[in-house]
Amino acid sequence: MRILEFTTLAVTGFISCAEFGSYAFVHPVLRRLPQVQRVEVEQGLLKTFGRVMPVGMSFCVVLGISSAVDGSVTRAWAWCAAGSFVAALVSTVIVNVPINRATGTWDVDHPPIDWQQARTRWEFFQGVRSWLLLTGFVLVCVASTT
């Protein structure tokens, strides 16, 4: 296995699994928390995920495109994977990032009146992003094995 192929599998696997795990297992629990605790946890997650995921998701795009261009894996699958990573990053930048920025500034005791609607919108696009990243990772795996 080549270094680019290994790195693509490892990085895209880590990022997609972290995001999908957050979507599938963490955020459903957060929705049941009282307002103050939920906003506090959301702000805490911004400090952890918010430091790693922008770099990681961007790196997924770079690695996906690099693998497709390199041609050492099945190109059609690799391009589909790259497209999935690009779509995840674009939806994140357009929808999730602005909501994250706003969430980080909220007073936990007095968030904006529409805070739940904002978080619901964020969660919907977290689902979109998570499925796109997971799909991209599966496609990277297929590209590496065919």
What residue spans define the domains of the chain? 3-145
The reported pTM is 0.93
Q: Which CA distances in Å does 16 have to 33, 71, 76, 126, 131?
A: 25, 23, 20, 12, 8
In the prediction, which pLDDT does 73 show? 76
In the prediction, which pLDDT does 1 show? 60
Beta strands per DSSP E along the chain? none
In the prediction, which pLDDT does 7 show? 96
In the prediction, which pLDDT does 78 show? 95
User: With contact defined as beta carbons under 8 Å apart, do 143 and 77 qualify?
Assistant: yes
In the prediction, which pLDDT does 128 show? 98
Digitized pLDDT (tens) for each residue of the chain, 146 residues in all: 689 999 999 999 999 999 999 999 999 999 999 999 999 999 999 999 999 999 999 999 999 999 999 877 789 999 999 999 999 999 999 999 999 999 999 999 999 999 999 999 999 999 999 999 999 999 999 999 98
In the prediction, which pLDDT does 48 show? 94
Number of neighbouring beta carbons within 10 Å of residue 32: 8
In the prediction, which pLDDT does 71 show? 79
Number of neighbouring beta carbons within 10 Å of residue 58: 15
